[in-house]
A = this chain, B = another copy of it.
Amino acid sequence: MAPQYAQSLRFRLPPLLFFLQTGFIIVFIFYVDIEQNVQTKQHAFTNYYSEFQDVHVMVILGFGFLATFLVRYSFSGAGFTLLVAAMAVQWAVILNGVESMYHRGKIWINMRSLVVAEMCTASSLIAIGAVLGKTNPVHLLLIALLEISGFVLNGWLLQTFLKVQFLNTIMLLHIFGAFFGLMLSWILYRQGSEQQHEKEKIDRKTGLFSVMGTLFLWMFWPSFNSVLVEVDRLDRGRNLRAVYSTYLALAVSAVTAAGFSVLTSPQGKLNLFHIQRCTLAGGVAIGVAMSAVHLPWVAMAIGFAAALISTLGTRYIKPIMLFAFECHDTCGVLSVHGLPGILGWMVQLLLQIADSDDLTTAVRFAVFHICTLLITLSLSMILGIITGFLLKCNFWRPPQNKKLFDDQAFWEFPHLGGKN
């Protein structure tokens, strides 16, 4: 279905970029302003700014360099992430502000709104991970915008109809992004993908760049999970508890991923893909379960289970997905974000039920909690499928089969050695 000859993006990408960017600027002219009355919560800012930056570093540098692992696709991995993220944060700021615009007439920019926008962007980057290397930047931009729209819609539905707390809806980003990306990848599946593409591999240097991305995600994840935890005067500890829990879950997760990587390897060796990705599973799971985790050992146990699921998933489920379901998942988002996210959701359910005193509350909570997951899963999968069909058409000029996983389709290589 892909075209025989490479087609230039010259009349696809720039018009789309300028159209969207001009549109965003126009929306900003009429509806967006900077929040001024901040001196009352002066102290909150101090915290927020450095934690916001940690999240920013994770999204731009962490996800960006994590995506450089393919041997001939590393410019695209880092460059497209920057491009998509720069566009997506603006879109997310607007979408998240729609309700405020409706009620107060303006969308206000503050630290919190930027952090939320970055998290929506992270969700879209997870979805993109599943189709990395098999799409062009026009696809990626459309995926990001549609995924964020779906994710914000999902959060609004859950908050409005099920009274789910904001923090809990935002932490579903891993599940939403992963299943959206998975469905997308399933629809966009091409003949011949069941064989290993010759360019879909790591070399020593791109592997190391990717490890760098992993480490930035791993190091700053405590900020990611704690930044939106609301702090009240009586329980300042909640924020810190999120930091410590994530820290411990990630430490256990790194150890466990290494252990299972060696254990499941016929030669008894470590697999770089596991170290790059499954070490992060603990951060995903604890993020989703956060509000119910009070003891450090529970966080550690979650980290253990998440890394176990993630490593086994990468080793055994990923090939099955490819051969049985014709779903090629480049970055393994199902095993790294999807399954650990569902694990975190289940742990939260169990802990909440164990904590509740009477049966009625427990059942009530369970029903609401299960609905939350079902809505999120169905919405993400339906939107993923719709997005997939939308992108399947040749109008968007998908890369040729032989140019998959290759920078050359998108980057001026002769000019790399040139004066500019």
Contacts and interface: CB of A to CB of B under 8 A. Distances in A.
Contact of A86 (B38, B254, B271): B254
Given A254-B83, A273-B420, A297-B28, A13 B219 contact: no
A407 B205 CA distance: 13
A241 B108 CA distance: 12
Contacts of A407: 204
Contacts of A74: 204, 208
Contacts of A244: 34, 109, 114
A42 B386 CA distance: 48
A33 B244 CA distance: 10
Contact of A410 (B10, B111, B270, B412): B270
A318 B420 CA distance: 8
A292 to B, nearest CB: 15
A262 interface: yes
A46 to B, nearest CB: 6
Contact of A21 (B8, B68, B255): B255
Interface centre among A24, A42, A234, A416 (most CB of B within 10 A): A416
Interface in A229-282: 233-237, 240-241, 243-244, 247-248, 250-252, 254-256, 258-260, 262-263, 265, 267-273, 275, 279
B219 A420 contact: no
Contacts of A47: 46, 49
Most B CB atoms within 10 A — which of A49, A74, A203, A407? A49
Q: Which of A35, A56, A83 is packed against the most chain B CB atoms within 10 Å? A: A83
Chain A contact-residue range equals 35 or more
Interface of A: 8-11, 13-14, 17-18, 20-21, 24-25, 28-29, 32-39, 42-43, 45-47, 49-50, 53-54, 56-57, 60-61, 64-65, 68, 72, 74-75, 78-79, 82-83, 86-87, 89-90, 109-111, 114, 137, 196, 200-209, 211-212, 215-216, 218-220, 223, 233-237, 240-241, 243-244, 247-248, 250-252, 254-256, 258-260, 262-263, 265, 267-273, 275, 279, 295-297, 300-301, 304, 314-315, 318-319, 322, 332, 407, 409-412, 415-420
